[in-house]
A and B are shown apart, each in its own frame.
Chain A
Amino acid sequence: MSAADGGAPTLSVRNLETHFFTRDGVAKAVDGVSFYIGKGEIMGLVGESGSGKSVTGFSVIGLVDPPGEVVGGEVLFNGENLLAAGEERMRQLRGNRVAMIFQDPMMTLNPVLRVDTQMIETVLAHDKSVSKDEARQRARDALGQVGIPSPDERLKAYPHQFSGGMRQRVAIAIALLNKPDLIIADEPTTALDVTIQGQILYEAQKLCRETGTALIWITHDLAVVAGLADRICVMYAGRVVEQGKLDDVLDHPVHPYTVGLLGSVPGHNTRGQRLFQIPGMTPSLLKLPRGCSFQERCPRADAACGADPEITQPVPDRNVRCFHPHLEEAAE
């Protein structure tokens, strides 16, 4: 299922660095992020607000807005380095081989254009040989695929005639139109209520299994990732602090941040008790401490944390950036 099982990964990101050149200094929103994702695989990219997870997604697809800029690393998509690709090549890939779904479904569809216009143009932008009728056909099929009833009628509607959940389905349908190899979903269910969220997660999972599309699911909601992903990447202050197979990481987190994060999820057996919380706040990207950026909030930090932690593999198939990983629990 993953690249480790054989076959080249769909996407391999190495040492990606995206910096924002603000008036107050350089914010390293993405600072040496590496991960890979195989065919049909779902990867959960988890982190707090401002941890750089969305910027990572936009960096891959080449849509980082100024003052942000990708300054280093490699994004290998089916073996092609996207950071070296020109604007026209990126345009050809976007919406075609790599699609993206945004967070707020109320804002992603153009309010003054009909749904069919917005879908058909996505097909025609990548394949001029398709007739308008064929493109409409494909749009209709895609709407049906994501579970929108009476797609023929809905094609003629405007976005404001859809509910939030339905709009997100339309956005997902648009992402699916050209049967991409990779979909980057940037918190697509955050703005939706829980039942709709469940339906969309189910559809997303089914689609990846059926079509072999790789999926990066960006979220801050561990519960979502737990029910969806194959692997998980935990980001903190622009860095991936821990990544591995989903079950392994959730059962035996190794990085103190992941441990804290999982510890702060409320559950049945914590009822009535005070919830655990990670002390302190996410540091500003402009004023990160030297060395490990989590040290100020970390119960295990000591003098060694003043140096930059390298990526290590303290347990098999797990990448961790920490000098003092929780190996006791993992070894159980």
Chain B
Amino acid sequence: MTVFIIRRLMQSILVVFVMSFLVFGGVNLVGDPVEMMVSDEADQEERERVIRSMGLDKPWYAQYGIFVANALQGDLGKSFVYGEQALGIIVQRMPATFELALAALLMAIVIGIPLGVFAGLKPEARTSKVIMTGSILGFSLPTFWVGLMFIMVFAVVLGWLPSTGRGETVQLMGIDVSFLTFDGLSHLLLPAVNLALFKISLVIRLARAGTREIVHQDYIKFARAKGLSQERVILVHLMKNIMIPVVTVLGLEFGGLIAFSVVTETVFAWPGMGKLIIDSIQSLDRPVIVAYLMIIVLVFVVINLVVDVLYSILDPRVRLQDVKG
């Protein structure tokens, strides 16, 4: 396992390197940030001064070289807009997004799995049909619309929950978190549900499909023939088997939650990375875009590694070894 992890880390470095090239190259192809930065009335001298200050006078490969050299020292460049370290700006926003994504993930697991297992065990029951129909809605309703409806109903009409911001935060190990205060929790609830809705539906479907398949396996019947209680058969013998696909998919989806919580963050004015990246793309703030994408690449790499390790814990047949050649 140690060998596997070391090998994977080395592969990850390669992935990060290739991604940095693609991202940097890609960003250089879209738009000209100078047009955004410099006012129309500026003269040629002024323009050139700005271009030089941003390092845009050098050819692209030289720019990339400087970027890599700086990146290795932890410097991903200064934001054109804020004039601060791009990495710093993103890291500052990261806890908000992580908190939101984790809350959504937790909901997907805690709500999705029991409902899915129930629907799988009793496929003919009316409740199961309601659950499955609900999951189709969760899949197909657009996130932004659901978010707006949530605000309409719970914030505007009923006035139960706030519609924007993170609310009161407290420091937990040097990081601002919302979920430890009542006010913060009430702010977290709507965006988290909004973000989780799709994932809950996904988990319901996965858990149901898994249950329906596993429940007919001989080893479930054998477990019953051993005289185990129904609870033990379901919670241990069945659950541990359906968790394998659920963990795999949720791992990948968690990366997606972090990277693409943009819509929810925008609707609920949640001060996270998603909102930052949208603003940065609009103002062609290259260093922030590049730094953001690099961080997302890292997040995915780490999550994939964690999923692989979890997988081997859940399924003893999986050995953490690379296939050679």
Q: Which residues of A contact B (CB under 8 A)?
A: 61, 63, 65, 91-96, 99-100, 102, 104, 107-114, 121-122, 125-126, 158, 160, 171, 174
Contacts and interface: CB of A to CB of B under 8 A. Distances in A.
29 contacts: A63-B221, A63-B224, A63-B225, A65-B221, A94-B224, A95-B225, A95-B226, A99-B225, A99-B226, A104-B218, A107-B217, A107-B218, A108-B218, A108-B219, A109-B219, A110-B237, A110-B241, A111-B219, A111-B241, A112-B240, A112-B244, A112-B315, A113-B237, A114-B316, A122-B226, A125-B229, A125-B232, A158-B317, A160-B317
A120 B236 CA distance: 13
Interface string B238-256: 0011001000000000000
Contact of A125 (B221, B227, B244, B317): B227
Contact of A171 (B217, B222, B315): B222
Contacts of B234: none
Contacts of B221: 63, 65, 102
Contacts of B232: 121, 125
Contacts of A109: 219, 222
A171 B221 CA distance: 13
Contacts, number: 76
B228 interface: yes
Given A63-B224, A104-B218, A91 B229 contact: yes
A158 B314 CA distance: 12
Contacts of B317: 111, 158, 160
Contact of A110 (B216, B219, B227, B314): B219
Contact of A122 (B228, B240, B244): B228
Contacts of A93: 227
A321 to B, nearest CB: 30
Contacts of B229: 91, 125
A108 B223 CA distance: 8
B215 to A, nearest CB: 10
The 8 closest A-B pairs by CB, nearest first: A95-B227, A95-B226, A107-B218, A94-B227, A158-B316, A100-B225, A110-B219, A108-B222
A160 B316 contact: yes
A126 B229 CA distance: 10
Nearest to B228: A125
